[in-house]
Amino acid sequence: MSSPDPTGPARPVRAPRSLRVDVEDSVIVPLPTSYPASLLGRLRDVTDLRALPEEDLPGLAEEIRDVLVSTVTRTGGHLGSNLGVVELTIALHRVFSSPEDAIVFDTGHQSYVHKLLTGRGPHFEQLRRPGGLSGYPSRAESPHDLVENSHASAALSYADGLSRGFALAPGRHRHVVAVVGDGALTGGMCWEALNNIATSDRAVVIVLNDNGRSYAPTIGAVGRHLAELRGETGRFRLSVFENLGISYVGPVDGHDLGQLDGALRKARALCRPVVVHCVTTKGKGHEPAETDAVDRLHTVPPAPTGASTTTPARPAWTSVFADEVVRLGRDRPDLVCLSAAMLRPTGLHRFAEEFPERTIDVGIAEQHAVSCAAGLAMAGMHPVLAVYSTFLTRAVDQVLLDVALHGLPVTFVLDRAGVTGDDGPSHHGMWDLSLLQAVPGLRIAAPRDGARLARLLAESVATDGPTALRFPRGTPGPDVPELRTEGGVDVLHETGRRDVLLVTVGPLAATGVRAALKLDEHGIGVTVCDPRWVSPPDRALVDLAARHRLVVSVEDNVVVGGVGTRLAQTVTAAGVPTPVHALGLPTEFLPHSPRADILRRHRLDAAGLVRTITALAEA
């Protein structure tokens, strides 16, 4: 292995802004000052890594794996993907000089080792904890983090733009390195970027981290082609990258530090676009993760805390959906389910087990998934596309113009809607209502509990037009029964006095009922209702509003363009003078924190609703 070859001094790491704690939050998290005397403990920054003797590197890799396993199994986070890039990340920071050389990870969930090597080891124990390190790259934490990316297939576009900018700016030569998983190559943005990168002479190094899977085995022709390259010994065949005009190095063993060092230095010396094909093993060095065929250790939940309980656990929202869509599939031979590389996380693996011929995984390609669903609907099928809320926002144009413009019967199931918690700003599904309410003809349902999820899904697939069904991460609370139904609206609680109409969206219904009971004690009469189909607003909501002095809506979506905003417009347009106050989330990127904490901070818990409604009623 060659000696370290730094190309310029690395700037000192700033104090992570995300480690600051607001006094009003009352969350004080003590941070360790350093690791014990060890190889990892000696690394204050990547400059120390470059000075480390080569013979110490295998020991360093072993220490890093120990830290990953011990920490992530307690804090929760992405384990398998980071175990697979230990040697690769060490080699990257030995060969390239971050942050002078730009290193972008696609996706950012594989950046834990990068964090450990760039000065954040002392804070790693607080990964994904309130006030601690983000589970993704964070510009507030370090100048080594350029892109706060947690969605796949964008890194090559960033790399194209960075390299163009570097070429236009005066000064020294800078490399751009994009670490891209094989699963990310199933997304169209990668190929749009490659189409531009391939015709340039800019120093873009594409490190292909090929472990044969994202959440699941990489599908389609891309996965097949990479498997063929991995299996070739004589290298008699050109790779697709070489056919595009991009240099190709590999495949190399992504866990052999010597091979990695040689390949990366060769790529760096070319000073043109080049792919370094690194074959890695997801979960490397931790047998449960290496042999995890269904990727249960892709994302590890935090260790349980608090006293145990003998109460049987209720099924998660995702499990309720998974069971119901299978039941519907038995009765509906035209029902087809689609996923964007997330069959298991969205619960569609159960449908796939029973109806493999009616299950489609398009890879990490949400835009294609939506338009493919449109084609299925045109062919007489009823597609159900299950995707995380935050990922559907990448395909709003297709929802608008490929599905809704044609009035097609496609059902979008948005898992992880609203506040999601520990994955942070890029994973909160707090924009879907605002974006989708602008789509003509699209009906949106928000179930308040598991029973309503099953009913609304059945109603969705029976609808001759586009529908969306949104629910949060986690487990539904107990079912909230209705007192009566008015039009399409369920009335959950009412008193003799009609002071306030409280309109709740989805699982905030239970919160609204708790708040109403407390407000009753204060002499404020509250009617709590659940629209079930939250958009477009049901006419019954206008009639209910006319019979109350004040309307308050509450949702875990941004207020701008949300359900409450549209309800206020509808009530005003109907000539009803009752004022409508919309409560929701601010138009900000919210940090990672447990869902309950975020709702409390923004007064969307029961106590917060009581304070807000009391002030409004007494004004």
Annotated binding-site residue? 182: yes
Annotated binding-site residue? 152: yes
- 425: tokens are 């700003």
Question: H or E stretch including 500?
Answer: strand 500-504
Annotated binding-site residue? 151: yes
Identify the CA nearest to 540 among candidates 550, 530, 553, 554. 530
Annotated binding-site residue? 184: yes
What's the one-letter identity of residue 165? G
Identify the CA nearest to 101 among candidates 265, 260, 249, 280. 265
Let me know if 282 is a catalytic residue: yes
Let me know if 366 is a catalytic residue: yes
Cα–Cα distance, 147 to 139 (Å, whole number): 7
- Contacts (Cβ under 8 Å, ≥6 apart) of 579: 550, 551
Let me know if 266 is a catalytic residue: no
Cα–Cα distance, 611 to 475 (Å, whole number): 27
If one counts every other C-beta atom within 10 angstroms of the C-beta of residue 259, the result is: 19
Annotated binding-site residue? 200: no
| β-strand pairing of 526-530 with 489-493 | antiparallel
Annotated binding-site residue? 255: no
- Contacts (Cβ under 8 Å, ≥6 apart) of 573: none
- Contacts (Cβ under 8 Å, ≥6 apart) of 70: none
Q: Which of 268, 282, 284, 350 is catalytic?
A: 282
Question: What crossing angle do the helices spanning 86-95 and 257-270 adopt, rounded to 10°?
Answer: 40
Q: Which of 87, 366, 482, 555 is catalytic?
A: 366
Q: Which of 394, 443, 470, 532 is catalytic?
A: 394
Cα–Cα distance, 417 to 455 (Å, whole number): 18
Annotated binding-site residue? 286: yes
Q: Residue 247 pairs with which residues in a beta bridge? A: 274
Q: What share of residues in the chain are helix, strand, coil (percent, to 5)?
A: 40, 15, 40
Q: Residue 551 pairs with which residues in a beta bridge? A: 501, 580
| Range list of β-strands (E), 545-590 | 550-558, 580-585
Cα–Cα distance, 619 to 617 (Å, whole number): 6
Residues at the binding site for thiamine diphosphate are 109, 150-152, 183-184, 211, 286, 366
Residues at the binding site for Mg(2+) are 182, 211
Residue positions annotated with a catalytic role: 282, 366, 394
Residues at the binding site are 109, 150-152, 182-184, 211, 286, 366
